[in-house]
Amino acid sequence: MNDQELLARVTEKARLWLGEHYDAETRAQVRAMLDNEDKTDLIESFYKDLEFGTGGLRGIMGAGSNRMNIYTVGAATQGLANYLLENFKNLEQIKVVVGHDVRNNSRLFAETVANIFSANGIKVFLFESARPTPEVSYAIRLLGCQSGVNITASHNPKEYNGYKAYWDDGAQVVAPHDVNIIDHVNRIASVAEIKFDGNPDLIEIIGEEIDAQYIEQIHTLSLSPEVDKRQHDLKIVYTPIHGTGRYMVPRSIERWGFDNIIHVPEQDVMSGDFPTVDSPNPENASAMAMAIEKAKEVQADIVLASDPDADRIGVVIKNTRGEYALVNGNQIVMIFLYYLMARNRELGLLTGNEYIVKTIVTTETIRRIADKLGIKMYDCFTGFKWIATVMRENEGKARYLGGGEESYGFLPEDFVRDKDSVSSIPLMCEIAAWAKEKGMTMNDILIDIYKTYGYSKERGISVVRPGKSGADEIAAMMVNFRENPLKEIDGSPVTLIKDYQLLQQKDVTTGKVTPLDMPAKSNVLQYFTADGTKVSIRPSGTEPKIKFYIEVHDTLDDAANYDAKNDWADEKLNRIARDLGI
């Protein structure tokens, strides 16, 4: 399609949004885009419809089919409602949970969703105010619902909002339901088919009663309650970065017995404008800067953060030089799983029927730990819906210890089916207390893992390419990597290539091709080299970017060499990034 054809198509599509079924504000925004000589906004707003990705529906707020607004939210909800009515037609009453984060328009979108569900005869449990994403998952399971929706754009910039659809197990929607829901959404030919007028009798407001049960159940995860009591005054700096963790996370930490929580007052303000940060992402040093300053002031033992919808976790500890430094996502997952496996072994709780889960782009060091401790490990695709799929398949058969992904998400419980900072943060506090009890720092724990199971360092690099042209460029990059596969990485020959789009792996040394046992296809490429390097490449399912995950390996014989090993790894990672042209 050439530029003129594209413009004609989006213009025709946009004119439909000038109809009487759209509100005056929306019509005015669309008219302004049509009248503007620069058609960039028009094209970006209408060149496609928002689609479900690894995290559901997500986009910039505004008018248009490719924007988050009450109409795109409405179409998604009407399609989901139609599918629920079809899929659960034998139930006397279909039930759903609806929640939202602190973002601008989140309450409006959540109430819109609740109204549409209720207008379709579906019972709605609507949270009274902003709540953590994992609590929505928890409530779906607790209340025996068939589905749920959470309005959130996670850690994205303030211009974004999103829509996460959940199924009856509390997990995000996967195939075949995701495809079927989209099909039902696409059947809606007009906004007039969306039932916006809700039935108040079918909407029940929920809040504290769910909060209390959630916090109590999270506390059952503690493996070292006596240690928590003895180390109750552990100095913990916590920031919600203006998000939904503001009340629930400190409450959860306190329930575990820790009573020395030091706040960052400016970031306790719950606001969709995220006024103290450029981006409310705890993996970014800039978002953690105020918490780190507070930590320096009070000489904190650990710094912890949650993102705006309180599913991701950020961690800062003192490094070898006594400086506060971010722990990366791979290290966070590794520390969690190491503790859960090692502590269960210490307590004599391992029966040989336990398992952990990580994603394919998360560090392979976790596999080494699990292998040495005799615990089964599953690899799955990026996105917690895939971790939840493994949990669903093992329900009633094996005991889940924990699972996580390098993008700062972890889940230590099985009564929630999405990443959870409300449980992960007090667990990380317990790990810090456990280390302190042993006369160790968190950095000592990290070094000890590397000495015992092998050293690794990882780096994630995102190449952002927004808009239609960006999407085309990202697609072309993936085609190029497939058609011209890497032969070596930093001088080490590639020995294995895994292509999850084709669901096959190739042993480069022998030429043998074998199938990959995965539940679906995914547009991911992985290269493994003779020296243990792993490079993974995948387009994001929720953001306009292509992601590169680089992982290098070596041994660490002496803790005194840790900083030197990090320097070596940084140089190697830099060379690899240059080789990849990123």
Cα separation, 120 vs 564, in Å, equals 62
Whether 154 is catalytic is: yes
Longest dimension (CA), the chain: 72
Strand spans (E) along 128-280? 147-151, 160-167, 203-206, 236-239, 261-263
User: Edge to edge, what strands does the sheet with 261-263 contain?
Assistant: 261-263, 236-239, 302-306, 313-318, 324-326
Cα separation, 544 vs 189, in Å, equals 27
Could you say which of 45, 118, 147, 154 is catalytic? 154
**To the nearest 10°, the Cα dihedral for 435, 438, 439, 440?**
-30
User: What does DSSP assign to residue 201?
Assistant: G
Output phi, psi for 137, to 5 deg: -60, -45
Residue 320 near residue 563 (C-beta atoms within 8 A):
yes
Cα separation, 152 vs 172, in Å, equals 13
Cα separation, 233 vs 77, in Å, equals 46
- Angle, helices 106-119 vs 70-87, to 10°: value is 40
Output phi, psi for 571, to 5 deg: -65, -40
Helix (H) or strand (E) holding 518: none
Helix (H) or strand (E) holding 382: none
227 Cβ contact partners less than 8 Å away, ≥ 6 residues apart: 430, 433, 434, 437
Q: Return the number of other C-beta atoms located less than 10 Å from residue 39's C-beta.
A: 17
DSSP string computed for 1-40: --HHHHHHHHHHHHHGGGSTTS-HHHHHHHHHHHH-S--H
Closest CA to 402 of 412, 410, 393: 412
Residue corresponding to tokens 């790894």 = 569
Residue 305 near residue 155 (C-beta atoms within 8 A):
no
Write out the catalytic residue numbers: 154
